[in-house]
């Protein structure tokens, strides 16, 4: 069965960096649009970034634009999220998700209709 597993979370100080990884198994990775989501305590679940199946196109939530970089390695079935200049408001549980559709809308619609989800990984930023 399909498994999506996140790694790389942890505790860092404000201004620091973390790189999240997400490995997907039992699916044809290159057939999937991939995305990162997050949910902070008491806040709604939100899309952070998504990437087309080729990796050439990306979309970012405004608050992370310029600080986060999403990428993927289709040969390794792995998605990444490089997070720089982290802020306390980035503290959340981060989730990786996959959507079986190569169509890339180029806007926040890329966060709709995910097929598979990871269990999430905690990212905590101290001030």
Is the separation of the CB atoms in 51 and 79 below 8 Å? yes
Question: Nearest 10 degrees: CA dihedral of 4, 41, 110, 65?
Answer: -110
Task: Check residue 96 and give its pLDDT.
Answer: 98
Task: Dump pLDDT digits (tens) for 37-81.
Answer: 999 999 999 999 999 999 999 999 999 999 999 999 999 999 999
- Residue 15 in this model has a pLDDT that exceeds 90: yes
Alpha-carbon distance of 67 to 107, in angstroms, equals: 18
Task: Dump pLDDT digits (tens) for 104-120.
Answer: 888 999 999 999 999 99
Mean pLDDT value across the chain: 96
């Amino acid at each position: 069965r399909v498994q999506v597993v996140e790694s790389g979370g942890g505790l860092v100080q404000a201004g620091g960096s973390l790189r999240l990884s997400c490995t997907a198994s039992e699916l044809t990775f290159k057939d999937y649009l991939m995305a990162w989501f997050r949910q902070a305590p008491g806040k709604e679940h939100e899309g952070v970034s998504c990437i087309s199946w080729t990796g050439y196109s990306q979309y970012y939530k405004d608050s992370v634009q310029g600080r986060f970089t999403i990428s993927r390695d289709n040969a390794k079935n792995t998605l990444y999220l490089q997070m720089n200049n982290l802020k306390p408001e980035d503290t959340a549980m981060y989730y990786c998700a996959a959507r079986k559709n190569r169509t890339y809308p180029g806007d926040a619609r890329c966060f709709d209709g995910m097929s598979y989800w990871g269990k999430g990984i905690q990212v905590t930023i101290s001030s």
